[in-house]
Structure 1
Amino acid sequence: MLQYLKLAVVDDFIDWLAANLDQPLFAHAYVDRRHGPRTFTGLPDALSQYFWKHNGALGAPGGTCLTSSNAVLNALRQALNTGMKNSNDAATLSASIEVMAWGGVRAGNARWLTINTAKLVSILSSTTAALASQNLAHGLLATRGQMRFNAGMTKVYSLLVDDFIIYDSRVAAALDWIVVKYCQARQLPAVPAELAFPWAPAKEAANAKAPKNRDPRQHNYYFPRLAAGEPHAVWNLKASGILAEVLRRAPFSTFNTASTIPALRRLEAALFMIGYDLPHGRSSEVAVSPREIDDEEDWTECFTAARGRMFHYRIQTDGIYLQDGRVYPAEVINSMLNILRSQFKSGHFPLANSATDVRSGNSKPGVGSAYFQATADKGNPPDSSALVAVLHDLGALNHTAGRRDPWSINDSEFAHQSKMDVSVLFTRQLELNDAL
């Protein structure tokens, strides 16, 4: 048991939340950007309205309800555990990317997982052990820069660590919203540091007209921004411990009724629904526009194909935009992919993007020459390294480690297209941004 849970204010918060868990105190409403108004009479009602669209995985079908998501997560948990038990990095990579795909966070995570394939089992095993230790002073948790932990990895570790929730921006927002109500009920002048769960902004399109609010501030009740890595993992542990103990102290709650889905997963699902959008708080501070605050969050982390260099990108309807100013128009991407399909069908192909070799015509067929041709011989062939990395992140391309020609087209994404068109992938990613 986390020693943190024995702190007086934490213990009092747990008691208060357990007593109010099924009460209308937690009624909430907002406008879902894709599906219209949603109204919840409380946390149990939020659970009953759970909605997350996914495509299924490993034989478990797609769906939108919690039962279907739970079936997918059970299959993925088994795949992860099998891969790690057998020290099979490739199988563990495949399962991890499937987890990201289920959670809508493949973009921003697939490339990191791929370039770390050779040590993935070791990374996941050591982090799982640190989290399972319930020791906030554990070396991996207490030292900055040692751990990758974000909205994607929390989903992976929720399948590897017992009683460990997914702590993403929606769950964090809902938990802080509840903490504010606790502070108001106890007439506290400020949020206790022990309960100041960090929040993260929603993922948004660059031109979002009605950005979702995940900042839980109300009057003098403020919360810090969530930092990736060890701080995220530590607060994930604290949130998991609190919610598990709340359920233990509320044995007659709706969340503890008989179900094939664990009570903690059901409570997490209710928080996920509540935290989609919060009312904008009021304070004495100077107002700052949501776009000004969250602009950095609009960019997605990625790693180049050639050397694994970090860069950041964003998707818009007309193409891929890099933070350094480079742009890949959709028509150029489509042309490149169709050239590669014509040359290689469903087979593998190399990056082969040397500027000198491609421009001189001495390069072997591959990504570099296809990109150069798609840009009417005006593009810079090495720029294709970032482009294919993003396309892999989005699922348009496959990458097979250990091959000199590791790339191939993911035919399942273009199965019904005589001419490949990435606009469907772009639309899907923008829809995910509305949901995340």
Structure 2
Amino acid sequence: MQTTERIDDETINDFGFIKISIPCDLKEYESISDAPVFTRSKYLVLLGIISFVIDDPVDVFGPKTNKYIFNEGGIWSHEDIENSLVIDKVDSTGLLSEIITKLKEISPHNKTLIFSLLDRWRKARYMEKDSEESLIYTDEATLSYFHVLELLGDLYSKKISEKSKELIKEFTSKYNSEILSLSGQSLENENNAKLKLVSSILSKDISVASKIMYFLKELGLYSNQTAFWIKTLVEARNSVAHGRRVFYDKSIFPVQPFFPLVSNSIYPMQFLRVLAANVISKYLGVSLYSNEWNIINVYLIKDDHVTKEYLKRGAFESIEEIDTNEIAIIRGGLNSFILNKKISPSSCFKFYEFYLSTEIDNEEFLYTNIHAIVILYESTKEPGLNALLEKAIINTHKLECNIDEKFRDTMYFLDFHGFETPKLELLIESGDIR
């Protein structure tokens, strides 16, 4: 018997349908109603693959119809179905076939890993989409996307252990022979003893972050930017997974249905979704999500140490001439560090003085830096810089490029993060901005 599950049937949904066919063998004493028990795992796997290709979570809760076709004499009575996936007249069959071909080539063990990764990603994508307006599952979606990274990190644990022992063995052997001048059986015994001792000490340093960054190196995705991001993701994961006090006596728009466990995300959820999807694709060996990754990779910021060194050098260049490795600092990177109090406002005066002298009408620059501009505006006492920052704030209002809907929201947002804004409040009261 074959069971066909049809999601968003064309008779139910004007936007089209997805048709999935799953063969199933039933014994004589089993009923047709038992079929979902035997086909469910394959059904969920297929939903994971389809959701991954279309970047939209297909779930089991929507409208669907089931159609059962019985074989006659061992030959299926339905016509052979070819893989086909067309969305908004865009044919994505090639991407679907690429994944299916790769899945056919890999070992059963790796196949189950990929199925687990896709299911975890689909669940995260479902919670993310369901939270776009309600914000209910934002923390849980963050944790589920992180689980994708964690699963792959665990996969490389054995390789990390072998590499670690190799390096320790090389070091202890040299130390024992060249420093302690041991040889023969004494050298071999001491090598084994020190190998166990040093390994037991250093193994404690192999954290979940280390495992993730190791496989990022293996997949060609490691950089200062991704390493810094992983560290912040581990902090977010720990906040959600292990729990902590979440009470805040202040709030910001959009107001949350619960106190948030993660309040200082440096990137939007979309970035984490693409990161998780890209590592799955890289591990599987397909091209899906590589373009999306290249787009967000430009916006990833280096850590605060590198950014502080950049500010100390003071070798600022126009946006048209700046190195691509530093463009993310201008596109909100420095703004994020000031907001999170990792870099002091006073160390950034020259930076904003330089860029506002030429970019004070640049909507993207104002949009990605308005919080830092306001914080500097509140902290400076230098008349010239004060006037420049105030003009930038007024221009942001005139150009309607504030990242917050209103400057009242900006005031509430900064207050939530521990910044007082009396000068901004006076501008709002005066009517110069809203």
Q: TM-score range by the shorter chain?
A: under 0.3
Question: Structure 2-normalised TM-score?
Answer: 0.23
More helix by share: 2
Of the two, which has the highest radius of gyration? 2
Question: Structure 1-normalised TM-score?
Answer: 0.23
More strand by share: 1
